[in-house]
Amino acid sequence: MKANVQWSISDRNLDTTQTSSQRHLAISVQATSGARPPLNLCLILDQSGSMGGTPIKTVRTAAQKIVDNLSPQDRISIISFDHEAQVVVPNQLATDPTAIKQAIEGIRAGGGTAIDEGLKLGVTEIAKGKTGTVSQIFLLTDGENEHGSNDRCLKLTKLAVSHSFTVSTLGFGNHWNQDVLEQLADAGNGSLAYIQNPDTAIQEFSRLFSRAQAVSLTNAYLVLTLQPQVRLAELKPIAQVLPETIELDVRREGEQAIVRLGDLMTNTPRVILANLYISQLLEGTHSIAYAEIQYDDPALGSSLSTDKVVINVTAQTAYQAQPDPQVQQYILALAKYRQTQIAETKLQAGDRTGAITMLQSATQTAIQMGDQNAATVLQENVTQLQTGQDLSEQAKKKTRIASKTILQ
């Protein structure tokens, strides 16, 4: 199994008369198809009192459906938590799905919420099956971390990542903290899911499970080596734009910019967008950077890297623009996310007018990129705010998801 790297740039041509030119570099990384390694899955499920009734029943059903789709080579562990955490299913091969589903059936709602206790026990349990597997944590909660520490949750997520575990989060209903769950999913190189009502629980669990099954390579890093005439933008220089939008932390080592990507899937690329400034160049073709992907292959138990990919541009005296339409779509996706984030910040600060303006901009961006479903969600918010209404928790959560992804 190998990683495939492709690149494109917003405009391959540069004007030799310009002292500095801005370009957006898109790097697409995907695992080649082949036999997938076994999955090592840990479900961390909120069983606090607010999950009582239909919510806990649907979560049990969704978890049992996942068990039905595991192969005997896959591993499963299940943690439940309220104000404390319990091991429902210790880490084991999925060779006895009936017994595992019976254990899930015993999960009952009651008590408070301590997400960090669930995460701590989950990280401990999934670590028992990490060798030769793709390790994924799905954390579901419907409420605030009232009996726990959000800072501790983030530290535990970073600990999970240091062991090459991926953390995805699922918010159930309308009372979970979207800032916290997004932060955990982003830090965990995972996905944020919104279970708006019990009927969609199976759908969202299945979506994340399908994504986990497509992972073949883990612990991937992009190493971008810049030539002396090239620099990254000072603020927010690199972001992921597919499969969802995430602002990425960049580690600098000399001329190298290093970014953790996490898992690589066979059916969906990770696309990274770098904001570059290129100094004035003489006429001709110039190499401006080299891109390399370092990654782990769980099936082989080894760390590998791709060949360095050369990224070049052409400086022209008679400049003719050569824009790339796909990169433009990536730029719009990032703009939609950032415009929505600014709108949320303004709304929290009491600047309703500023929030409306930014949401209108995000709506137009979504329309421009053909994301009509996101445009509908964003425009509904504009209308509510313009008529003097406050945004509901449901509207805020739908907006967060719409900002990060292309809605289906």
pLDDT at residue 240 in the model: 98
Phi, psi values for residue 307, rounded to 5°: -65, 155
Contacts 24+ apart (CB under 8 A), 245-250: 245/333, 245/334, 245/336, 245/337, 245/403, 245/404, 245/405, 246/186, 246/404, 247/186, 248/272
Distant-in-sequence, close-in-space partners of 235: CB < 8 Å, separation ≥ 6: none
Alpha-carbon span 307 to 373, nearest angstrom: 39
Task: Pinpoint the alpha helices (H) of 39-84.
Answer: 54-68
Can you tell me which residue has the tokens 């891109």?
291
**pLDDT above 70 (res 407):** no
**Mean pLDDT, rounded, for 28-38:** 91
Type of residue found at 407: L
> pLDDT digit string (tens) for 75-104?
999 999 999 999 999 999 999 999 999 999
**Mean pLDDT, rounded, for 259-264:** 97
Type of residue found at 153: C
Terminal alpha carbon distance of the chain? 30
> Could you give the 3-state DSSP secondary structure of residue 53?
coil
pLDDT at residue 309 in the model: 98
The chain-wide mean pLDDT, for the chain, equals 96
Phi, psi values for residue 282, rounded to 5°: -75, 160
> pLDDT digit string (tens) for 177-191?
999 999 999 999 999
**Is-contact 13 319, C-beta < 8 A?**
yes
Type of residue found at 368: Q
Distance of CA 117 to the CA centre of its chain: 23
Nearest to 220 by CA among 270, 147, 172: 270
- Residue 36: which pLDDT band, with cuts at 50, 70 and 90? confident
Structure tokens given for 81: 């938590």
**pLDDT above 90 (res 33):** no
Alpha-carbon span 142 to 173, nearest angstrom: 6
- Residue 336, sorted as left (phi over 0), alpha (psi -120 to 50) or beta, turns out to be alpha
CA contacts within 13 A on the Cβ side of 124:
12
**Mean pLDDT, rounded, for 354-377:** 97
Q: Is the pTM of this model over 0.75?
A: yes
pLDDT at residue 406 in the model: 79
**pLDDT above 90 (res 380):** yes
Burial of residue 359, with CB atoms counted within 10 A of its CB: 0-12 exposed, 13-18 middle, 19 or more buried: buried
pLDDT at residue 81 in the model: 97
Alpha-carbon span 171 to 208, nearest angstrom: 13
Burial of residue 244, with CB atoms counted within 10 A of its CB: 0-12 exposed, 13-18 middle, 19 or more buried: buried
**Mean pLDDT, rounded, for 15-43:** 95
**Is-contact 33 266, C-beta < 8 A?**
yes
| DSSP E strand boundaries for 153-200 | 166-172, 189-195
- Residue 34: which pLDDT band, with cuts at 50, 70 and 90? confident
Query: In whole angstroms, how large is the CA radius of gyration of the chain?
Result: 22
Nearest to 324 by CA among 29, 28, 23: 23
In percent, the amount of the chain with pLDDT more than 70 equals 100
**How many other C-beta atoms can be found within 10 angstroms of the C-beta atom of residue 384?**
16
**Is-contact 114 121, C-beta < 8 A?**
no
Contacts 24+ apart (CB under 8 A), 206-214: 206/62, 206/65, 206/66, 208/138, 208/168, 208/170, 209/41, 209/66, 209/69, 211/243, 211/265, 211/268, 212/39, 212/41, 212/134, 212/136, 212/166, 213/36, 213/39, 214/36, 214/265, 214/266, 214/267, 214/268
> pLDDT digit string (tens) for 147-174?
999 999 999 999 999 999 999 999 999 9
